[in-house]
Structure 1
Amino acid sequence: MNSLQKKILISLILLSLLPAVSLINADMMDIDSAQYAEIAREMTDSDSYLFIRDNGRKYLDKPIMTFWLVSASFKLFGQNNIAFRLPSLIFALLSLYSIYRITVLRSQSERRGLLASLLYASSPGLLSMLVSPLIDIYLTSFLIFIHHAYYLARKKNANYFYLMYFFMGCGFITKGPIAVVIPGISIGVDLLIRRDWKGILSMKIPQGIFVTAALPLFWSYVLFQEFSWYGPNFFIIIQSFGRFYSFIYNQKFDPLFFVKNFAWAFGLFFVPLAVHVFLRLRQALTGSGDASTSSDAIWKRIPLSLWNYVRSDEFRKADFVIPLWLFLTLSLISFSRFQLPQYIYWILPGGAIYMAGVLDRLLFGGLAEGEKPERMPAFFFYLVPALLLLFYIAIPVVAFDLKGMQWFVYLLCLFPLVLWPVLRRHFSDRLIVPVLSGLVVHLTVGCLIYGLLIFYQPSSRIAETVRRLEPGEEVLYKFMISNSQRSYAFYSKRLTRDIFRKDQFEADLRADGSRLVILSGEGLLNFPGFTGGRYDLEILEEHDAYKVSMPSQAFFNKKKRPGVLKKVYLIRVTLRNP
């Protein structure tokens, strides 16, 4: 790889992050992101960094690490959108470097390292994690750091194992034991199936157990102070393994749920990856890739071929860490009883590193020792770009009426296509077309669609009025507004309270003369009856609202959207004169 190709790949990696950078000051979405921001705000305001509070109440659902990171950013840069997203962006940059280094350490190929970083940077999954940062961006980063430290220990210095175990501990207090389980699947299973006993003994496991367990034990002790034994049990068992295999989290089982979600999260090169897996499996079963071989002959050949391969020196010298990270983890989480799409983020780095090798062999003929060349029709690299083109065209046609500057932004997002004639002099169209089409859609989402979506979450606009008209208050009242909508609390810089007890609300009303209340459309209809008609209501603001974190197909149809929108009101309530 020449220096110009290297510079181009690095530029494409940085350009892939531009949509996320452009959104760094955008309002955050309910539910989870706004909740995490509000928890970190309360942590910062109280200067209490051990006990988690959500809306002033004890919180147990997630461990502490994410809130430490965000609250530290709030402490340094203030409680705002930029400070909330900054830690996730920093972790993403560090992750891209670690992915590059992992790939170089495994393959001794700088080109593969840059390709792997490009695949991860340009994946819709990473953009999603950065647009609306969840705990998974930090967990995924720690998983990447764990594997980076592992390869450093294998290739450079065994003392890096201590760093690997430390990152496991950090991941543990980010989202529980899954931070240890996934490396156990990738690294542990690789060592066991290859019977690499020497490698296992070199990993400083007794010391590693202590290093890994230090942070989880500390956090368990803190939880014990507040929740007795239920706190550590929830942290270690219920909120982790319980989500996957415990009946209390049982959902309708869909074995392809995570495969489908991996398809959109991996995005640009999922179809070539799927075709590659199919072709390699067929080749392995037939022994030559000859599809005409009878099925009876294939099934008779499999056990002996597999047994001979497992016993061979080629197998014992192989490195299955990344394939196990991708394929075995995907298989195991597919049996989960609690299926959330963000779980698929945990294997995206493995997919990027694995696919980088496929692209290197296919597009550049880069073969490491023992690798076989790739053969794949170019057609499969253009299926996803064709879908992305339809997506782009459908935005003004089906989804949103663009006005004024929005049309300019929409057309400006086509800018990456201008680079095509230059880039194709140095790279195959099978690499450039998916990447550039993905960049067009990424820019469209970051610079246009997210803003159009977040318009239907009016919390920051309402909160601005609340802070102006009701300064100094510690509580914002709401009625028939879901507790999951934590952005009202974060942007108003105060706790929120549902009006359940009329006597408490009326006491505040008598003390202050009037109070502001946020109501849903249904709440506005029911509020007079609930309060016995004793108050005068003045509507200050009316907004269209929608749960934009989980939009339906009808929401993206501009003709049907009015039928799914709700109303949110900000009202001033005063006691009615007798």
Structure 2
Amino acid sequence: MLKKNVVLLVIGLCIITYLLGIFLIPLMDIDAAQYASISREMYVHKSFLQVYDLGHDYLDKPPMLFWLSGFSMYVLGVHDWAYRLPSFFFSLLAIYATYRFALLYYKKDIAYLSAMVLASCQALFLMNHDVRTDTMLMGWVMLSIWQFATWFNTKKIIHFVIASIAVAGGMLTKGPIALIVPILCFLPHFILRRDWKHFWHWEYVLGIAIIAILLLPMSIGLYRQFDMHPGKIVGGNYITSGLKFYYWTQSFGRYTGENANREMNEFTFLLQNMLWSFLPWILFFLIALFLEVKKLIQQKGKLQLNQEWITTGGFILTYCVLARSQAQLPHYIFVVFPLAAIITAKFLYQLFFEHQWRHLRRTLVLLHLIVFTLLWMALIVLIAFPFSDIPKYVAALSSLCLLLMYSLFYSKRLHFHRLLIIAFFTIIGINVFLNTAFYPTLLQYQMGNTAAEYINAQHIDKSKVVTAGIHPGYPFYFYGQYIFPDTAINALQPNEIVVTNADSLERIQQKFPYAKVLHKGDNFHVSQLNITFLNPETRPEVLQHYAIVDLTIPNKKITKN
């Protein structure tokens, strides 16, 4: 039996690890830094219904993330951690809603395990510092699924109202997918239980009304910004209607071909990325998913009264819908990770608490010991070799953690299963090192935050700063807390301070002989890590360099004849 204090300890350690990333890691270009910049711009200019990106019309994502992060900056100040905090609370909501939903259908131990699995999967550690819309979406969607399930079981209208509000919140975060996922969850559940009465309730009309009313402010903003001014070009797309783009093109256009994006459209792409994003539970999940489908086939496609197919059916159908899209990114599947966590938790309980599949358990224990050893060794290499700025004692500590993992594995004093212990220990421990040592050092090679840091530290007049011949990245605008204009090198004017590519220095100095180089720094797209960059000997091959140059005309001394 799982003790509550063990559950709280594991989830508490996960939360502490999230917070380390939230407060210690600079924003990573592109998405997280872009959304932070938009949130700051919205807060500064008080433009809450019409969204702008560096002064230009923005239409890619709904405004919920920008609203909440902008409000957080209003209360706490313009900081990267203030941008991340609202999403952090939604990750906690997702964990809690997962626990409460699982409690509706399973033993408390399985509900506990569900929360622990979700809290400790690699995606949650990543989502809390590389914040995009998916963290909030996960919280809203899991809240809606939990509340809908509670309403179906109790018929208390308050749960239906909360679920409808959650759907609207999710749609304000990332669009119609927040409505589609709950439908895909309950549809197979009702069909397999032959529960036809749930296909119609008068409350559904109420739910549609609640959602429509809550979407109204955003819809008004879209209409005023785009539909009243048709023909705007946003992201290279000709926009005739902002409402159509949001409610149709951005989501359903990925299937009809109306959406121009063509990113990673293989059916197995999301599954391939789950191999890392759902660590350390991915093998357990795949086995559990297979067993769930096998069991349904054995039951000839009909559920018993004590069974639910909300989680398994919801995951499978959502995966199929997302995988058929012409544009996919790894984080798209994160929305159903709570469902994957519950599927996994059921299997873990049967494996380690009910002692089923003993021969399979021995194989899984050995296989995961090897996998966790390789993960620790990879971490040690990342800490010890690529960056000389990371103190050597950090690599020594990570090596000790590898030895401690083996000590925990072979200890006979622990009352919790040894494989679960080393799984939690490994994933939490590795992310502590990543969040405190590796990522903060890596982000020093991202010019946006380092260039803005120099400008802020030197108290440079930002009204004089321009960029030329280089795109400094969104962290430059967020940390600089200013929309720096861009110009051509040939159009530079005296008395400006230019941020530019170091290769352009010669041209600038020919035009402005008195130009003074204030600062030079390195630049690398850190989201595109590769072996060449991580190897200190080959790193210069892929590093770019930037410079901050003062074009101020020096004062000439007047001499008397």
* TM-score (structure 2 length as normaliser): 0.88
Alignment of 1:255-334 (within 5 A): 255-278=267-290, 309-310=300-301, 312=302, 314-315=303-304, 318-334=307-323
Moved more, 251-260 or 30-39: 251-260
Amino acid at match of 1:256: T
Residue 564 (structure 1) aligns with:
542
Instruction: Output the CA distance in 1 between the equivalents of 2:404 and 2:484.
Output: 44
User: Which of 106, 109, 112 is 2:110 aligned to?
Assistant: 112
1:302-330 Cα shifts (integer Å, max 9, x gaps): xxx67x723x5x45763111002222212
Provide the aligned length of Structure 1 versus Structure 2: 536
Amino acid at match of 1:240: S
In the alignment, is residue 378 of structure 1 matched against residue 367 of structure 2?
Answer: no
Residue 38 (structure 1) aligns with:
37
| 1:111 Cα deviation after fit | 1.2
Residues 245 and 315 of structure 1: is their aligned pair in 2 closer, same or farther, counting only changes over 3 Å?
Answer: farther
| 1:501 Cα deviation after fit | 8.5
| 1:164 Cα deviation after fit | 0.8
User: Which of 136, 139, 146 is 2:137 aligned to?
Assistant: 139
Residues 571 and 257 of structure 1: is their aligned pair in 2 closer, same or farther, counting only changes over 3 Å?
Answer: same
Amino acid at match of 1:380: L
In the alignment, is residue 517 of structure 1 matched against residue 498 of structure 2?
Answer: yes
User: Which of 372, 385, 390 is 2:377 aligned to?
Assistant: 390
Residue 232 (structure 2) aligns with:
none
1:19-39 Cα shifts (integer Å, max 9, x gaps): 221122231111111111111
Residues 528 and 61 of structure 1: is their aligned pair in 2 closer, same or farther, counting only changes over 3 Å?
Answer: farther
In the alignment, is residue 241 of structure 1 matched against residue 240 of structure 2?
Answer: no
User: Which of 436, 444, 449 is 1:447 aligned to?
Assistant: 436
Residue 152 (structure 2) aligns with:
154
| 1:226 Cα deviation after fit | 1.1
In the alignment, is residue 29 of structure 1 matched against residue 28 of structure 2?
Answer: yes
Residue 72 (structure 1) aligns with:
71
SS in 1 for 2:551: strand
Instruction: Output the CA distance in 2 between the equivalents of 1:411 and 1:373.
Output: 33
Instruction: Output the CA distance in 2 between the equivalents of 1:473 and 1:443.
Output: 36
Residue 391 (structure 2) aligns with:
403
Amino acid at match of 2:448: S
User: Which of 463, 486, 492 is 2:452 aligned to?
Assistant: 463
Instruction: Output the CA distance in 2 between the equivalents of 1:71 and 1:157.
Output: 37
SS in 2 for 1:376: helix
**Are 2:517 and 2:550, in contact at CA under 8 Å, matched by a contact in 1?**
yes
Amino acid at match of 1:333: L
In the alignment, is residue 175 of structure 1 matched against residue 174 of structure 2?
Answer: yes
**Are 2:408 and 2:421, in contact at CA under 8 Å, matched by a contact in 1?**
no
In the alignment, is residue 350 of structure 1 matched against residue 343 of structure 2?
Answer: no
Residue 230 (structure 1) aligns with:
241
Residues 474 and 191 of structure 1: is their aligned pair in 2 closer, same or farther, counting only changes over 3 Å?
Answer: farther
Moved more, 255-264 or 400-409: 400-409
SS in 2 for 1:268: coil
SS in 2 for 1:495: coil
Instruction: Output the CA distance in 1 between the equivalents of 2:317 and 2:156.
Output: 26
Instruction: Output the CA distance in 2 between the equivalents of 1:214 and 1:475.
Output: 45
**Are 2:289 and 2:312, in contact at CA under 8 Å, matched by a contact in 1?**
no
1:178-235 Cα shifts (integer Å, max 9, x gaps): 1111111112332244332223334711111111222334312211101115111111
Residues 500 and 326 of structure 1: is their aligned pair in 2 closer, same or farther, counting only changes over 3 Å?
Answer: same
Amino acid at match of 1:561: R
| 1:454 Cα deviation after fit | 0.8
**Are 1:41 and 1:71, in contact at CA under 8 Å, matched by a contact in 2?**
yes
Identity in percent: 26
User: Which of 463, 482, 495 is 2:471 aligned to?
Assistant: 482
Instruction: Output the CA distance in 1 between the equivalents of 2:114 and 2:105.
Output: 12
* TM-score (structure 1 length as normaliser): 0.85
Residues 521 and 221 of structure 1: is their aligned pair in 2 closer, same or farther, counting only changes over 3 Å?
Answer: same
CA RMSD of aligned residues (A): 2.9
Instruction: Output the CA distance in 2 between the equivalents of 1:416 and 1:18.
Output: 20
Residues 502 and 14 of structure 1: is their aligned pair in 2 closer, same or farther, counting only changes over 3 Å?
Answer: same
In the alignment, is residue 121 of structure 1 matched against residue 119 of structure 2?
Answer: yes
Amino acid at match of 2:131: P
Instruction: Output the CA distance in 2 between the equivalents of 1:374 and 1:208.
Output: 47
Amino acid at match of 1:379: T
**Are 1:413 and 1:444, in contact at CA under 8 Å, matched by a contact in 2?**
no
**Are 1:477 and 1:498, in contact at CA under 8 Å, matched by a contact in 2?**
yes
Instruction: Output the CA distance in 2 between the equivalents of 1:487 and 1:335.
Output: 33
SS in 2 for 1:536: coil
Residues 455 and 269 of structure 1: is their aligned pair in 2 closer, same or farther, counting only changes over 3 Å?
Answer: same
| 1:157 Cα deviation after fit | 4.3
**Are 1:539 and 1:571, in contact at CA under 8 Å, matched by a contact in 2?**
yes
Residue 58 (structure 2) aligns with:
59
Moved more, 325-334 or 11-20: 325-334
Amino acid at match of 2:391: K
SS in 2 for 1:255: coil
Residues 399 and 255 of structure 1: is their aligned pair in 2 closer, same or farther, counting only changes over 3 Å?
Answer: farther
Residue 95 (structure 1) aligns with:
94
In the alignment, is residue 428 of structure 1 matched against residue 428 of structure 2?
Answer: no
SS in 2 for 1:574: coil
1:150-188 Cα shifts (integer Å, max 9, x gaps): 222133443111111111111111111111111111123
1:380-419 Cα shifts (integer Å, max 9, x gaps): 2414313312322322455444435544664676697476
Residues 520 and 64 of structure 1: is their aligned pair in 2 closer, same or farther, counting only changes over 3 Å?
Answer: same
Q: Is there any run of 5+ residues in structure 2 with no aligned partner, and where?
A: 228-239, 557-561
Residues 131 and 422 of structure 1: is their aligned pair in 2 closer, same or farther, counting only changes over 3 Å?
Answer: farther
| 1:486 Cα deviation after fit | 0.9
Alignment of 1:186-201 (within 5 A): 186-201=185-200
| 1:575 Cα deviation after fit | 4.8
Instruction: Output the CA distance in 1 between the equivalents of 2:521 and 2:60.
Output: 31
Residues 206 and 116 of structure 1: is their aligned pair in 2 closer, same or farther, counting only changes over 3 Å?
Answer: same
| 1:543 Cα deviation after fit | 1.1
| 1:420 Cα deviation after fit | 6.0
Instruction: Output the CA distance in 2 between the equivalents of 1:284 and 1:419.
Output: 35
Residues 14 and 137 of structure 1: is their aligned pair in 2 closer, same or farther, counting only changes over 3 Å?
Answer: same
SS in 2 for 1:432: helix
Alignment of 1:498-509 (within 5 A): 498-500=486-488, 505-506=492-493, 509=494
**Are 1:161 and 1:203, in contact at CA under 8 Å, matched by a contact in 2?**
no
Residues 187 and 498 of structure 1: is their aligned pair in 2 closer, same or farther, counting only changes over 3 Å?
Answer: same
1:66-122 Cα shifts (integer Å, max 9, x gaps): 000101100110001221121121112222111111111121x22111111111111
Moved more, 170-179 or 536-545: 536-545
Instruction: Output the CA distance in 1 between the equivalents of 2:140 and 2:177.
Output: 11
Amino acid at match of 1:120: L
SS in 1 for 2:419: helix
Instruction: Output the CA distance in 1 between the equivalents of 2:290 and 2:85.
Output: 40
| 1:279 Cα deviation after fit | 5.5
Instruction: Output the CA distance in 2 between the equivalents of 1:471 and 1:559.
Output: 35
Q: Is there any run of 5+ residues in structure 1 with no aligned partner, and where?
A: 286-304, 367-371
